[in-house]
Amino acid sequence: MDGLEYGVIDEAGVDEVAAIMRWSFGGGEDFAPRYVRETVGVDSVRVLRDGARAVAALALVPMGMWLGGRRLPLAAVAAVATAPEARGRGVSQALLAASLRELRAGGTALASLYPASLVLYRRNGFEIAGMNARHRARASAIDARDRALPVRPIGPEDMPAVMALHQELARGQDGNLDRGEAGWRPILRRRGVAATGLGVFDGGALVGYCWLRQAPASGHAPYDLEVADLAATTDAAWRRLLTLLRDHGSLGAEVRWGGPLADPVTLLLREEVHQVEEIRRWMLRLVDVGAALAGRGYFRGVTASVVIEVEDPVLPENAGRYRLEVAGGEAEVTRDDAGSGPVVRCPVGSLAAIFTGYAKASELARVGKVGGDPGAIALLDAIFHGPIPWHPDNY
């Protein structure tokens, strides 16, 4: 947009950006400045200025996403906010487009976010491509009583092992994040409240952990238990963690945790005592289509070649035809703009939903989101077939 300038902020700009975020998201006087400084970091914030005044802001938090056992560079887009006097002018859309151009130039393949408005983000090439399910159970109903493994508080000296354990498990879960330091901040501290870390150990080695916060009670308990993060590498560690949660049952507490919709942890419960409390869907954007297609892993049992014609008016560098050849879990991607033969025509947003395995190309074709040769569309179904992607992170 004419007259608007895209850029970064320094410490002197925190209060101005915080005022815009507070108007958009609410919170106390100290919430937004603390969020900028402690959660996303000042250096992650981008603004759009009209002259000297910031009229829109967002954060680009560097992370990675695991797909097919491979890590792709990803930016988590957070806190997209518009000043009250600038609403209705399209400044947030302009800010998003400028940030996507920056990410592409910097070698970031993907961007993700939790949407407040599907329309705004779809205009910028995002589409729903994964989920975060919140599960709930009364602590006293968790039928686990295994205290064989020791549990102790997690200290700073344990954090490398905690992060390595998360990384090991996340690698095998499509859509999970390689958090990095910035991604761990909201796990360890959110809205100024620190989480309590507890580790499960076996022979001195960390085999499981959980980060817990007290949350407002839903019943007569003094508080409920919010699980900020939960992970284990053995069945014994899972049983010990479930027992740890059950041991809060005397307080009458409810326990809430994040995971996939069909969370295998719930299979350790003898009765159906849990509920899915909430499903939050996140959106994904292929910032660099060629790098994204070449960078993820694929099912080793599929050998296929297909041409995808991508539409991307926001990042026209992405537009055109790509030949995707998959074999042995690896992909080779070449531009094929002059080629002929069966083609799948795909807006970049629809490709994001297919890319993670969230939606089948054939399903999107039935609702007019994908077009082209039926045989080529069926090949995309096979190439990107997999479990529904998920991650438990909020940003």
Report pLDDT digits (tens) over 178-218: 998 889 999 998 877 899 999 999 999 999 999 999 988 88
Q: What pLDDT is recorded for position 100? A: 98
Q: What pLDDT is recorded for position 1? A: 61
Report pLDDT digits (tens) over 282-302: 999 999 999 999 999 999 999
β partners of residue 335: 322
* Structure-token pair, residue 125: 């090439």
4-125 maps to CATH 1.10.645.10: no
* DSSP per-residue codes, 327-389: ETTEEEEEE-TT--S-EEEEEHHHHHHHHTTSS-HHHHHHTTSSEE-HHHHHHHHHHT--PPP
Q: How confident is the model at residue 108 (pLDDT cuts 50, 70, 90)?
A: very high
β partners of residue 110: 74, 286
Alpha carbons within 13 angstroms on the beta-carbon side of residue 250 total 3
Q: What pLDDT is recorded for position 151? A: 98
Q: Is the pLDDT of residue 103 over 80?
A: yes
CA-CA-CA-CA torsion for 196, 276, 260, 285, nearest 10 degrees? Answer: -100
* Structure-token pair, residue 233: 């590498």
Q: What pLDDT is recorded for position 338? A: 80
250-276: average pLDDT:
89
Residues 6+ apart with CB under 8 A from 105: none
Q: Is the pLDDT of residue 267 over 80?
A: yes
Q: What pLDDT is recorded for position 31? A: 84
Q: How far is CA 114 from CA 141, 279, 280, 391, 394, in A?
A: 32, 12, 8, 12, 8
Pair 274, 137: CB distance under 8 Å: yes
pTM above 0.85, yes or no: yes
Q: Which of 1-5, 160-164, 185-189, 334-338 has the lowest mean pLDDT?
A: 1-5
Q: Is the pLDDT of residue 317 over 70?
A: yes
- Residue in this structure with the two tokens 């608007």, named with its chain if needed: 4
380-388: average pLDDT:
94
Largest interatomic CA distance in the chain: 69
Q: Is the pLDDT of residue 368 over 90?
A: yes
313-320: average pLDDT:
97
Q: How far is CA 292 from the centre of its chain?
A: 16
As a whole number, the mean pLDDT across the chain is 94
Residue 106's identity, in one-letter code, is G
Q: How confident is the model at residue 278 (pLDDT cuts 50, 70, 90)?
A: very high
Sequence ranges of the domains in the chain? 4-125, 133-281, 288-383
Q: Is the pLDDT of residue 245 over 70?
A: yes
Q: Do domains 4-125 and 133-281 have the same CATH topology?
A: yes
Residues 6+ apart with CB under 8 A from 224: 214, 215, 216, 217, 218, 253, 254, 255, 256
Q: What pLDDT is recorded for position 75? A: 98
113: part of which helix (H) or strand (E)? strand 110-113
369-385: average pLDDT:
96
162-189: average pLDDT:
94
Q: What pLDDT is recorded for position 299? A: 93
* Structure-token pair, residue 330: 């690896």
133-281 maps to CATH 3.40.630.30: yes
Domain at 288-383: CATH code: 3.30.1050.10
